Structure 1
Amino acid sequence: MSDPTGQESPPEWERTRRGERSMRWEQVVQTARSIAALQEPDGGVPWPEGHVDAWNHVECLMAMSVAGLTEPVRRGYDWLARTQRADGSWPMKLVGGRAAEHGGESNHAAYAAVGVWHELLVTGDEDFARGMWPVVRAALDFVVGLQTTRGEIVWERTASGEPAGYALLTGCASIHQGLRCGVLLGERLGDPQPDWELAADRLGHVLSAHPEAFADKSRFSMDWYYPILGGAVRDEAARARLAEEWDTFVEPGLGIRCVSDQPWVTGAESCELVLTLDAVGERERALRLFADMQHLRHEDGSYWTGWQFVNGRHFPHERSAYTAAAVVLAADALDGHTPAGGVFRDAGGYATDRPTAGCGCSHAGSRA
């Protein structure tokens, strides 16, 4: 059987299609090592074009941790602590350790909590977690400071200190997971943060009940699945949401589209949907989708960012660390390589029905 690039599919992906496993352990390690090979001397893990942002950087650290690459992971967290600003945020883009874009994104800051909680689950190292706790606490306080009366969290604080005028659905869904992980981390370390829990409850409600709170980015597949992946939407509502846009975004045998109006599948989004399916118990579909996107794998274990299936070319012509990271995290969720394999699965399971006086729900007054 040939893959979309005309090459023979490795036999192990046939085993994946039959639901036996996602990826051999040595392949997981090879892919994680492809991320480590891109890490800069200062500890940052860059995009192909050379900048580092905190969200993708943390995701790459999580993937390397799955494979046991402790030294580059800890250098990466040192980078995170070193580049954090006094207000708890990180610059949107850093090049050579210096800010190239100075605004601070709320979802970038929130993901620090996911990374540190994940590292604690993988290693059990509470000393590490305690050392990073001030970073997480400052980051999530920055995030909560951008929450509106209705409950959404605007996407950035500008370089001049002004909050943005709108919120992003995907970003807020990721923030929801970050707040939940921060609450768990605080409880584990004996420093509970009830304000974060309240903020997560309010945000979860808006994510599940108030689509009007967010800028319209519905052509992006992430806006489709991220409310489920981030834990705000689960159970029957999640299954209904998946069914609604499945045919819009999923290309059988290839993966999922990044945007609905372009013939372009991307590896990172495909693996995030794998994580989403796993989180709602759809293992068979998750395994099949994971197998389908393996045509993006390079022989060195890295992954092409995407595939333009009309032109029959990789697009963009790059292999990205964040794509490799999503692959490793999906493999861990499917196969349970580490105790952190359920970190996305566990983001759900919280009550999100906490409307406020500002959300417009008829029963908000008694629940604010």
Structure 2
Amino acid sequence: MSEPPAVDGVLSAADALATARSIAAVQERSGAVPWFHGGHVDPWDHVESAMALSAAGLLSEAERAYDWLRRTQRRDGSWPLRVRAGVVEDAAADTNFCAYPAVGVWHHFRITRDERFAERMWPVVRRAIDFVLGLQRDRGEIDWARGAGGSAIGEALLAGSSSIHHSLVCALELAVHFGCAQPDWEVALDRLAHALRHHPEAFAEKDRYAMDWYYPVLAGPLRDDAGRDRIVRRWPDFVVDGLGVLCVDDHPWVTGAETCELVLSLDLLGWREHAVEVLASMQHLREQDGSYWTGYVHADGKRWPDERTTWTGAAVILAADALSGATPGGDIFRTGVPRAGLPVDDGCGCSAPVPVGE
């Protein structure tokens, strides 16, 4: 196993390991990774933390986290939106949350090449993706959740559907590895990529959120000139020099996780120097034990909320791994480029082509 990720002048390998250990210190005996001690668990942030544990070399802790997913998956392939200390607090299922284990499993396998792990988790990924695609609309977008009563929420989110795009690509990589053709998934991926690139009207209007700004780049659909234009156009709205990225464009609150996700997006566009600068800008959120505060209200000079979240530290490690290439999982987000192939059906009523991957 190689050393933990490091970025010269920003984060040492020892720093990254300390951050991973701060995440492991919050992990429950069940393997679940809550947001913080006593906090709740959701599948997406749980997987993000597991990925950071893998990248930093804490493989047994990461595998405990994935085993928790395997044991708690519901029959329909989903997980509850929120669990605290083993008790379900919100039984709804978020499609993005349920798709994301595919990214984590592929990431862990790329680092460990552990075939037994992949064999255990492949049925989990398959059931989860089938659940998620059951909420895809004809045009290609995917409803963001199924309510506790079993009905779709009836609204698609740009950031969530973009993240699902990346999850689908990783799930298909696993399918190829196991020799299990999934033509329905490939059709679904092409339809989703098409909607993300050509149909902004398909998604709820949330352009005040930074995630809606950069996620189409981070998760794959926009990594060409359209993606570069998107980042440049709204850079002044979201980036606070020396501090990081605003969560929303109308509040003076920079957040560590959003900052690190922008770092990943910049790296994918080939803007490494800017990516390193942005990663350095959020290190003011770091504590001595390696954990990270969620955010900082720069107008008041106060960290807020009063919590150090596992997923913020995880985002730092994953950004550092992408910049350093320390592990074979460091390029996990580069698998998000859509592949040309299957034509889009006429469900959306237009003839715009599916974007061709790089």
When the two structures are superposed, what TM-score results if normalisation uses the length of structure 1?
0.91
Q: Which residue of 1 aligns with 2:28?
A: 40
The answer to whether the 8 Å contact 1:47/1:321 transfers is yes
Pair 1:320 & 2:314 matched:
no
Residue 189 of structure 2 aligns to a residue whose secondary structure is helix
CA shift digits 1:262-290 (9 cap, x unpaired): 00100000000001111111100000000
User: Quick one: structure 1 residues 352 and 62, their matched pair in 2 at CA, closer, same or farther if it must change by over 3 Å?
Assistant: farther
In the alignment, the residues of structure 2 paired with residue 105 and residue 324 of structure 1 have an alpha-carbon distance, to the nearest angstrom, of 23
Q: Alignment partner of 2:82: what SS? A: strand
Asked if structure 1 preserves the Cα contact closer than 8 Å seen for 2:197 and 2:222, the reply is yes
CA–CA separation in structure 1 for the residues paired with 2:352 and 2:188: 18
Distance in 2, matches of 1:178 and 1:274, equals 19
Match status 1:294 vs 2:283: yes
Distance (whole Å) between structure 1 residues aligned to residue 351 and residue 316 of structure 2: 43
Unaligned runs of 5+ in 1: 1-14
Aligned-partner residue type, residue 113 of structure 1: A
Q: Residue 115 of structure 2 aligns to which amino acid in structure 1?
A: E
* Equivalent residue, structure 2, for 1:155: 144
Correspondences of 1:7-46 after superposition (within 5 Å)? 20=8, 22-46=10-34
- Maintained 8 Å contact 1:278/1:345: no
1:113 matched to which residue of 2?
A: 102
Question: Residues 284 and 81 from structure 1, CA distance in 2 versus in 1: closer, same or farther, beyond 3 angstroms?
Answer: same
Relative to structure 1, is the Cα distance of residues 268 and 102 closer, same or farther in structure 2, using a 3 angstrom cutoff? same
Shift in Å, 1:71: 1.4
CA contact (8 A) 1:22 1:335 kept: no
Q: CA deviation at 1:23?
A: 2.0
- CA distance in 2 between counterparts of 1:317 and 1:57 reads 20
Quote the offset at 1:354 in angstroms.
Answer: 4.7
CA contact (8 A) 2:169 2:335 kept: no
> Aligned match of 1:145 in 119, 127, 134?
134
What is the alpha-carbon distance in structure 2 between the residues aligned to residue 293 and residue 53 of structure 1? 24
Corresponding residue for residue 268 of structure 1: 257
In structure 2, the partner of 1:9 is none
2:118 to 129, 138, 155: 129
332-341 or 194-203, which moves further after superposition? 194-203
Determine if contact 2:106/2:174 at 8 Å carries over to the other structure.
yes
**Structure 2 residue 247 is the aligned partner of structure 1 residue 258:** yes
Match of 1:181 in 2: 170
Alignment check: 8 A CA contact 1:232 1:352 kept: no
SS of the residue aligned with 2:93? strand
Which whole-Å deviations, capped at 9, do the CAs of 1:226-248 have from their partners, x for residues lacking one? 01101111111110110111000
What is the CA–CA distance in structure 2 between the aligned matches of 1:363 and 1:302, rounded to whole Å? 45
Look up the match of 1:170. Answer: 159
Counterpart residue number, 1:232: 221
Listed one character per residue, the Cα deviations across residues 66-96 of structure 1 (whole Å, up to 9, x for unaligned) are: 0110111111111101111000000000112
CA-to-partner distance for each residue in 1:180-214, whole Å, 9 max, x for gaps?
Answer: 00000010112121211111111011011111000
Query: Could you say what the CA RMSD is over the residues aligned between the two structures, in angstroms?
Result: 1.6
Structure 2 counterpart of 1:51, which letter? H
1: distance between equivalents of 2:121 and 2:266? 31
1:202 matched to 2:191? The reply is yes
Amino acid in the other structure paired with 2:13: W
Distance of 2:234 and 2:74 partners within structure 1: 39
Cα deviation for residue 349 of structure 1 reads 5.0
For residues 153-182 of structure 1, the C-alpha deviation after alignment (integer angstroms, 9 at most, x for no partner) is: 101111121112110111000000000000
* Cα distance in structure 1, aligned partners of 2:129 and 2:339: 19
* Contact map agreement 1:355 1:361 (CA 8 A) in 2: no
Q: Which amino acid aligns with 1:312?
A: G
Structure 2 unaligned segments of length 5 or more: list them.
Answer: 1-5, 354-358
User: Residue 80 of structure 1 aligns to a residue in which SS?
Assistant: helix
Following TM superposition, by how much is the alpha carbon of 1:98 offset from its aligned partner in structure 2, in angstroms? Answer: 2.4
- Determine the structure 2 residue equivalent to 1:306: 295
- The alignment of Structure 1 onto Structure 2 pairs a total of residues equal to 347
Q: Which residue of 2 aligns with 1:220?
A: 209
- Contact (CA 8 Å) 2:187, 2:342: kept in 1 or not? no
Deviation digits for residues 88-111 of structure 1, max 9, x if unmatched? 000000112221101111001110
Cα pair distance change 1:349/1:200, threshold 3 Å: closer
Q: Residue 172 of structure 1 aligns to which amino acid in structure 2?
A: S
SS at match of 1:344: helix
Q: Deviations over 1:17-75 (max 9, x none)?
A: xxx56421111111111100000111111123611000000000000000110111111
